[in-house]
């Protein structure tokens, strides 16, 4: 019966996509879709060295100048970590060993930015290559400000015209895209999960949502966007759905469909029945059904490892699915071993960074994640009955720093097989 | 005195300790000697799915009787490590984890040197659990954001109540004043199955609900939407299935020496939809309950642990004989109510009649100049009888942050009073100068109707595309009809000028009708785009008060020649007063937040409220001089700065500094009263030139909340500085016969400063707990005044400090020790005089459970009072009681109480009265012995 239901649901979904492609919505490529069958409650454990070839903990230097809150955006260029901290609204630069080299904060920008932008806030940074040099570009007011990797001001220029809500662009593409794009020409106020633009004009749009009918039903967090992705693959998901789409400008490919036990799945008519419309009704439904997964987020793929997060009202869990062996692991249950100096590779079990934001960056064969010092010292204290010899940098960190120091970056190189 | 105090404390402590020790010795005889230096460790592993088990609940019990010894969660490596475990006793380790089979291991630690390593314990996934193991619940679990304590994990006496359970949980402290803290933070709301339980006082729930009816204690936070940094801690008691229906209560009768008696009965029924409490009480021992809730609070079942005894109020003035009865009915329309979704109807009725017999003997000294003072002795006796009925309805609705309530209530009070007062005045040379004898007999009827209603309708102004953040409207209506009739017989004797002797025989009938209306409308969170850009939020509020008073008085004086009462045309009067008070307020605030993830969060909120107040007061009277029309307008700004610093896992410090302005206007009785010359010692004359008084104050407070898991230290302090311009003060004219005439005038120069502080520390031991509290209040003020035309200041300094220690040992012993010190000092610089006094009280209370059913309580209060120029007054109150509980469920109780055993209770008055002081005593309850029988029906769940 369950199998019949699943087959039906897949068929209906496919029909639905086909139906949506009529009219204005563009067609999604579902020719190479792979079904991934998982039971979130039955994920296995494994060891760090089964999944990774290399693990490195890089404590970020803590001084009065360099202290910051959390890593809201991370990039790694020319052997430097570039960090945007939304707690202090600053961009901090550290070497690959964690040595602090400079900071760009509101004060520094105010000197260069004579526009009447009174707030200290800004939305992050981008790394751009100008005349062969990697520069940090920050959009502030009507200007783009450029700084070098020593945090010195290089130049400013009027901000380039941006599409509404500043969409990101994928490298090596003629197309820009925008998430949650509102089609103002549409009478029904349709919001498209993703739309592609060519030279500022709409080219294709996918995954529509009736924003009048579903006012307030959007999920609070979307997928983390990475401008420079591992193997240049970028995935998105639709709200309240278990399909993973790969963004291939100017189109979408339905790459994976996740199948789960019935107790974890939303009712079929969830997006159609008014009894589920509105934040409060939905909230009540999720409270009463704590096993139901309402969000699939933060998708990344590293060779055969598909990483993703599933959220229910009870918890957000992070998983790895091995597309080759069909092994299915809960990241919380990755057991530390000698490769990681017997330390966990995420902060799960102590703080909530990884549960909230997932992986920070994947670049040049490496995955980057961070662990707050609060969690690092909890892990260290629980490790006392093992005779662990920490690498020098980590050993120094545990000796000289404390729970209030800067976070530690975890650099992981996933196994290719 | 001090010697006696020390001896008594030593004796009582020795008695308590000796008994506790012998009880312990008896307990220990049954087991091997206990050495608590053992340790056990291990690692939990799911070998099927290949991972170590984090956050599993691991609990250690004594194998023989399943007594919980300790519990913890497995760490991030699946490890656990217990220390301080008993050696040589078989122990049981229970492991539970969602999705995994319940697992048990038994082991014995043979010697303190051999800590047991259980190695890797294999935990099977739930679906392959084939062993037949009796599953037990873990003591503590985290369910989302809710911390849950599971009652079944704690083994207690079958008659224990929820309070006994909470005292067993290390994270929870129940304070002697009835507050409850979880990890140092105070619990603000307690609910039972999501609903308020018989009025919401936590003692009613904790001391009545059997521990065995409880499934779990749930602790959760709710965030204050107005100030997201401020969250409230709540507790919900989730009852076991089927235990949400039943009844509890108390029926008790007692009789004692000096014809003292008490009887009380209450029975309370509940089910998921409704709660009904019916109460009744009658006594002549000053156990005066003023509401259904009061009676419920004083007749809780209480558990098996120790509680300091509830007793008669030995400090209450007079002796009250009272009867009371009433009911309270709550109906809940919602299936699963919670904090944000409620729909309830409440009906309550309370009837009380009481007779209070009071007398006092007071000596007041008033300084009139540097050479002279007047001493007034006043002997009074009063008998007041009253009957009071109150009927109230309340309908409350709340859903998704919107709420509405309406509460009409009606009170009727009637009664009679009989007061006698004999005053004698002497001068500083102790020469008798005048006397005044007064007899007042009368009756009164007061009818009072109140209606309170409120609507709160918040809007999400971003979604609703409006600048308004919602609307809150409150409306209050009060209608009062107060009729008083009394006969006054007054005799004034002047010893120096007999021609000024006066006699009055006066009948007065007064009828006061008032209609009072208040409407407050708030527009919170107005989204003005320009200000929002600057991070400034604004709100508007308007308060309109309209009050109409009708004061009709008919006064008749006896004409001794004709022996008939004739109308006193001066004092007979009809006075109408209409007051209008309009207050418009704009509140502008800006907040600055700084946080570093996982480290701290700091917030600073600055707000400024310019307010304009307009008041008019129009009076219309038969007497032309009372026809006044006064208008007042005043700018009364408020401002505040609030700061909070939350260092995660360490502490939260909060600070608030505010500036407030208030206007008070003179009443018609201060502007143009009718001068009643029969009240010779206090003739009040008006002043039509009185202006409004403006008070400006600065308030400061600071609090430190410890966020550590146990042994918390919390403290706070605050202060208030106030200055009043144009303060309405007395200008007192005292003649040489102590006849006093009071004029009201405006005077600058009033200043006051008050400071307060408190420290609260709890220390948990293996088998006991020590709570220490220090509270202090200090105030000093400078009052401007006129006496016989001389403008002067008098300065006061008052302080009040209490240190309290509470110690409890297991369920056997509770000891409370407290020391309080009150001081006052009054200085009149113009007269070069200083008066001071102080009162000290040392209190020692203890409760000792000699057996599971037999308890003895004792408390001793040593009181000592000193005053300048007066003898020290010392007295001691010693009360003791013995309580025996009977029947299987401890439902029956026999109690013998001995109160004020030393027969020394006396109510001392020793206080500062501005330009002088008062000392004396008043009638209070004194020694009696009483025998009480009580029965506590108590059933949670349907009867079998």
Query: DSSP secondary structure string, A345-389?
Result: SS-TTT-SHHHHH---EEETTEEEEEE-HHHHHHHHHHTTTS---
How high is the pLDDT of residue A117? Answer: 54
Q: What is the pLDDT of residue B452?
A: 97
Q: Do A385 and B41 touch (CB under 8 A)?
A: yes
Average pLDDT estimate for A22-46? 82
Partner A contacted by B596 (CB < 8 A): yes
Q: Please give, rounded to a whole number of angstroms, the shortest distance from the CA of A160 to a CA of chain B.
A: 23
The Cα B921–Cα A27 span in angstroms is 95
Taking the Cβ of residue A341 and every Cβ of chain B, the question of whether any pair is shorter than 8 Å is answered with: no
Residues of chain A in contact with residue B400, where contact means CB-CB under 8 angstroms, are 280
B51 part of contact set with chain A, CB < 8 Å: yes
The reply to whether B529 touches chain A by the CB within 8 Å rule is: no
Lowest model confidence (mean pLDDT) among A6-20, A273-287, B46-60: A6-20
The structure tokens 């509404």 sit at A164
**CB contact B462 to A (< 8 Å):** no
Distance CA(A284)–CA(A228), nearest Å, equals 38
Q: Where are the alpha helices (DSSP H) in B66-219?
A: 162-168, 202-206
Give the Å distances, CA to CA, from A177 to A165, A167, A173: 11, 6, 10
Q: Where are the domains of chain B?
A: 37-144
Q: Which of residues 282-311 of A touch B (CB under 8 A)?
A: 290
In this prediction, residue B924 carries a pLDDT of: 80
Cα–Cα distance measured from residue B574 to residue B512, given in angstroms and rounded to the nearest whole number: 10
Per-residue pLDDT tens over the stretch B370-380: 677 888 899 99
CB atoms within 10 A of CB B559: 11
Instruction: Verify whether the Cβ–Cβ distance B50 to A46 is below 8 Å.
Output: yes
- pLDDT at B231 (0 to 100): 67
Nearest CA in chain A to B532: A119
Interface pTM (ipTM) of the complex? 0.75
Contacting residues of A for B594, CB less than 8 Å apart: 87-88
Out of B41, B51, B597, closest to residue A44 by CB? B51
For chain B, say whether A344 makes contact (Cβ under 8 Å). yes
Check residue B510 and give its pLDDT. 95
For residues A301, A306, A309, A312, the Cα torsion angle rounded to the nearest 10 degrees is 150
Fold classified for B37-144:
Immunoglobulin-like (2.60.40)
* Minimal-distance CA residue of chain B relative to A380: B76
Touching check for A392 and chain B: CB below 8 Å?
Answer: no
Chain B residues whose CB is inside 8 A of the A121 CB are none
For residue B81, the model assigns a pLDDT of 86
A333 at interface of B, judged by CB pairs closer than 8 A: yes
- For residue A217, name the pLDDT band (cuts at 50, 70, 90): low
Tell me which chain A residue has its CA closest to the CA of residue B535. Answer: A119
pLDDT of residue B565: 94
Nearest CA-CA partner of A197 in A222, A167, A225: A167
Smallest Cα distance from B211 to chain A, Å: 27
Residue of A nearest to B340 (CA): A280
- Cβ distance of A118 and B533 shorter than 8 Å: yes
B649 to chain A: closest CA residue: A374
Average pLDDT of chain A is: 81
Residues of B in contact with A335 (CB under 8 A): 50-52
Q: Which of A69, A281, A319, A384 to mutate to test the interface with B (most CBs of B within 10 A)?
A: A69
Give the burial string for A100-132 (b: 16+ CB within 10 Å, else e): bebbbbbebbeebbeeebeeeebeebbbeeeee
Q: How much is the pLDDT for A98?
A: 94
Of the candidates A362, A331, A373, A338, the one whose C-alpha atom is nearest the C-alpha of residue A232 is A362
Distance between CA atoms of B520 and B473, rounded to whole angstroms? 6
Q: Please indicate whether, in this complex, the C-beta atoms of B533 and A350 are within 8 angstroms of each other.
A: no
Burial code (b: 16+ CB inside 10 Å, e: under 16) for A12-22 equals ebeeebeebee
- From the list B51, B534, B649, the residue facing A335 with the nearest CB is B51
Q: Which domain holds residue A290?
A: 2-414
Chain B contact for A238 (CB, 8 A cutoff)? no
> In chain B, which residues have pLDDT < 50?
1-33, 130, 226-229
User: How many domains, in total, are found in chain A?
Assistant: 1
Q: Which residue in the set B81, B597, B649 is minimally distant from A69, CB to CB?
A: B597
Compute, in degrees rounded to 10, the torsion defined by CA atoms B664, B669, B670, B671: 100
What pLDDT, in 10s, does the model give residues B814-858? 898 999 999 988 888 777 778 888 889 999 988 888 888 898 989
CA-based nearest residue in chain A for residue B79 = A382
The whole-number pLDDT of residue B76 equals 82
Answer yes or no: is pLDDT of A395 > 60.
Answer: yes
CB contact under 8 A, B597 and A215: no
Whether residue B854 contacts residue B883, with contact meaning beta carbons closer than 8 Å, is answered with yes
CA distance A40 to A42: 6
Structure letter (DSSP) for residue B152? G
By DSSP bridging, strand B90-96 and strand B57-62 are: antiparallel
Q: Closest approach of chain A CAs to the CA of B140, in angstroms?
A: 17
Tokens of B659: 């500036």
Neighbours of B497 (CB within 10 A): 12
Residue A162 binned pLDDT confidence (cut-offs 50, 70, 90):
low
d(CA B427, CA A352): 79
CA nearest neighbour of A148 among A128, A163, A168: A128
Interface test with B, best of A48, A87, A215 (most B CBs within 10 A): A87
Determine, for residues B49 and A70 on separate chains, whether the beta-carbon distance falls below 8 Å: no
Buried b / exposed e along B368-381 (16+ C-beta atoms within 10 A)? beeeebbbbebebb
**What was the pLDDT predicted at B922?**
78
pLDDT at site B704: 92
From chain B, pick out residues whose CB is under 8 angstroms from the CB of A41: 99
**pTM confidence score:** 0.78
Place of tokens 């380790």: B93
């Amino acid at each position: 019966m369950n199998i019949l239901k699943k087959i039906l649901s897949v068929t209906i979904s496919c029909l639905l996509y086909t139906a949506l492609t009529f009219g204005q919505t563009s067609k999604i490529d579902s020719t190479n879709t792979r079904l991934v069958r998982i039971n979130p409650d039955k994920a296995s454990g494994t060891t760090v060295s089964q999944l990774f070839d290399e693990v490195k903990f890089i404590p970020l230097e803590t001084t009065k100048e360099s202290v910051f809150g959390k890593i809201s955006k991370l990039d790694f260029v020319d052997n430097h970590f570039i960090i945007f901290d939304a707690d202090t609204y600053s961009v901090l630069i550290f070497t690959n060993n964690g040595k602090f080299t400079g900071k760009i904060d509101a004060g520094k920008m105010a000197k260069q930015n004579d526009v009447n932008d009174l707030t200290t806030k800004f939305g992050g940074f981008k790394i751009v290559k100008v005349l062969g040099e990697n520069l940090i570009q920050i959009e502030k007011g009507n200007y783009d400000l450029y700084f070098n990797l020593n945090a010195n001001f290089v130049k400013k220029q009027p901000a380039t015209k941006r599409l509404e809500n500043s969409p990101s662009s994928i490298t090596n593409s003629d197309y820009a895209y925008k998430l949650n794009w509102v089609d103002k020409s549409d009478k029904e106020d349709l919001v498209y999960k993703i739309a592609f633009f060519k030279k500022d004009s709409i080219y294709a749009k996918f995954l529509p949502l009736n924003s009048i009918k579903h006012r307030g039903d959007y999920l609070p967090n979307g997928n983390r966007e990475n401008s420079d992705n591992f193997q240049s693959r970028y995935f998105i998901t639709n709200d309240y759905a278990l399909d993973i789409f790969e963004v291939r400008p100017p189109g979408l490919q339905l790459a994976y469909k996740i199948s789960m036990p019935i107790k974890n799945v939303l009712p079929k008519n969830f997006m159609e029945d008014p009894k589920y419309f509105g934040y409060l009704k939905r909230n009540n439904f999720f409270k009463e059904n704590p096993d139901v997964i309402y969000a699939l987020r933060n998708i990344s793929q590293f060779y055969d490892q598909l990483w993703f997060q599933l959220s229910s009202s009870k918890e957000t869990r992070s998983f790895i699915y091995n597309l080759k062996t069909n092994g299915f692991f809960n990241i919380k249950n990755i057991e530390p071993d000698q490769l990681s100096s017997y330390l966990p590779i995420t902060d799960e079990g102590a703080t909530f960074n990884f549960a909230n934001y997932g992986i920070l960056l994947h670049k040049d064969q490496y995955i980057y994640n961070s662990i707050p010092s609060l969690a690092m010292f909890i892990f260290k204290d629980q490790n006392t009955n093992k005779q662990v010899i920490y690498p020098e940098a980590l050993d120094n960190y545990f000796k000289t720093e404390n729970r209030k120091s800067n976070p530690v970056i975890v650099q992981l190189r996933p196994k290719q097989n | 005195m001090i010697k006696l105090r020390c001896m008594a404390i030593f004796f009582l402590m020795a008695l308590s300790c000796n008994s506790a020790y012998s009880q312990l010795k008896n307990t220990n005889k049954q087991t091997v000697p206990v050495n608590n230096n053992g340790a056990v460790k291990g690692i939990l592993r799911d070998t099927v799915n290949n991972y170590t088990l984090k956050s599993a609940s691991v609990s250690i019990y004594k194998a023989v009787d399943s007594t919980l010894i300790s519990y913890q969660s497995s760490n991030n490596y699946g490890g656990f490590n217990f220390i301080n475990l008993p050696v040589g006793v078989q122990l049981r380790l229970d492991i539970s984890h969602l999705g995994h089979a319940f697992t048990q291991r038994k082991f014995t630690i043979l010697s303190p040197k051999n800590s047991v390593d259980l190695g890797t314990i294999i935990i099977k996934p739930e679906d392959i659990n084939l062993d037949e193991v009796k599953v037990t619940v873990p003591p503590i679990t985290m369910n989302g954001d809710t911390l849950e304590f599971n009652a079944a994990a704690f083994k207690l006496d079958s008659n224990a109540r929820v309070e006994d359970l909470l005292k067993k949980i290390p994270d929870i402290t129940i304070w002697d004043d009835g507050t409850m803290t979880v990890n140092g933070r105070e619990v603000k709301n307690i609910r039972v199955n999501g609903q308020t339980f018989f009025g919401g006082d936590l003692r009613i729930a904790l001391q009545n609900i059997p521990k065995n009816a409880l499934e779990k204690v749930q602790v959760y936070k709710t965030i204050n939407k107005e100030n997201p940094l401020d969250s409230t801690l709540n507790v919900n008691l989730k009852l076991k299935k089927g235990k949400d229906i039943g009844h509890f209560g108390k029926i008790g009768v007692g009789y004692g020496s000096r014809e003292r008696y008490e009887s009380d009965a209450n029975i309370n029924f509940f089910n998921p939809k409704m709660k009904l409490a019916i109460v009744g009480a009658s006594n002549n021992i000053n156990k005066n309950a003023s509401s259904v809730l009061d009676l419920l609070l004083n007749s809780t079942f209480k558990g098996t642990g120790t509680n300091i005894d509830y007793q008669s109020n030995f400090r209450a003035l007079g002796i009250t004989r009272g009867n009371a009865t009433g009911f309270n009915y709550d109906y809940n329309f919602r299936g699963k109510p919670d904090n944000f979704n409620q729909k309830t109807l409440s009906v309550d009725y309370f009837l009380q009649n009481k007779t209070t017999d009071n007398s006092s003997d007071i000596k007041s000294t008033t300084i009139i100049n540097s050479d002279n003072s007047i001493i007034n002795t006043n002997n009074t006796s009063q008998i007041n009888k009253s009957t009071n009925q109150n009927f109230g309805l309340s309908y409350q609705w709340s859903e998704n942050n919107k709420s509405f309530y309406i509460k009409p209530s009606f009170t009727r009070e009637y009664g009679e009073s009989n007061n006698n007062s004999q005053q004698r005045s002497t001068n500083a040379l102790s020469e008798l100068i005048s006397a005044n004898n007064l007899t007042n007999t009368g009756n009164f009827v007061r009818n009072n109707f109140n209606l309170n209603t409120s609507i709160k309708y918040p809007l999400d102004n971003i979604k609703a595309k409006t600048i308004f953040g919602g609307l809150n409207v409150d409306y209050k209506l009060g209608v009062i009809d107060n009729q008083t009739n009394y006969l006054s017989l007054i005799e004034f004797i002047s010893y120096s000028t007999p021609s000024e002797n006066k006699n009055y025989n006066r009948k007065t009938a007064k009828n006061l009708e008032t209609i009072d209306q208040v409407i407050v409308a708030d527009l919170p969170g107005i989204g003005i785009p320009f200000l929002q850009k600057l991070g400034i939020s604004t709100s508007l509020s308007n308060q309109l008060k309209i009050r109409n008073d009708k004061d009709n008085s008919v006064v008749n004086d006896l004409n001794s020649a004709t022996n008939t009462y004739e109308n006193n045309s001066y004092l007979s009067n009809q006075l109408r007063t209409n007051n209008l008070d309009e207050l418009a307020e704009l509140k502008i605030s800006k907040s600055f937040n700084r946080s570093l993830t996982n480290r701290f969060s700091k917030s600073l909120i600055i707000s400024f409220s310019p307010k304009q107040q307009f008041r008019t007061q129009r009076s219309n009277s038969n007497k032309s001089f009372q026809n006044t029309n006064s208008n007042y307008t005043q700018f009364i700004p408020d401002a505040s700065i609030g700061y909070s610093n939350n260092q995660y896992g360490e502490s939260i410090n909060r600070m608030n500094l505010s500036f407030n302005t208030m206007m008070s206007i003179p009443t018609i009785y201060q502007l143009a009263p009718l001068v009643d010359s029969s009240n010779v010692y206090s003739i009040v004359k008006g002043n039509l030139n009185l202006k409004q008084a403006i008070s400006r104050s600065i308030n400061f407070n600071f609090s430190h909340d410890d966020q550590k898991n146990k042994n918390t230290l919390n403290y706070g302090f605050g202060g208030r500085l106030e200055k009043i311009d144009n303060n309405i003060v007395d200008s007192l004219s005292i003649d040489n016969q102590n006849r006093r005439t009071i004029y009201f005038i405006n005077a600058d120069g009033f200043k006051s400063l008050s400071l307060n502080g408190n420290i609260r520390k709890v220390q948990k031991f293996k088998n006991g707990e020590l709570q220490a509290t220090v509270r202090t209040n200090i105030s000093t003020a400078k009052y401007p005044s006129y006496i016989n035309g001389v403008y002067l200041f008098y300065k006061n300094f008052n302080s009040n400090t209490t240190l309290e220690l509470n110690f409890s040992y297991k369920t056997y012993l509770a000891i409370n020790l407290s020391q309080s010190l009150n001081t006052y000092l009054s200085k009149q610089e113009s007269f070069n005089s200083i008066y001071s006094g102080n009162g000290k009280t040392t209190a020692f209370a203890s409760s000792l459970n000699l057996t599971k059913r037999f308890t003895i309580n004792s408390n001793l209060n040593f009181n000592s009072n000193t005053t300048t120029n007066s003898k020290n007054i010392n007295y001691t109150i010693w009360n003791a009681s013995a309580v025996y509980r009977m029947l299987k469920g401890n439902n029956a109780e026999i109690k013998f109480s001995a109160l004020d055993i030393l027969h020394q209770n006396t109510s001392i008055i020793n206080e500062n009265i501005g330009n002088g002081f008062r000392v004396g005593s008043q009638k209070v309850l004194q020694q009696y012995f009483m025998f009480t029988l009580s029965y506590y029906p108590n059933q949670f769940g349907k009867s079998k």
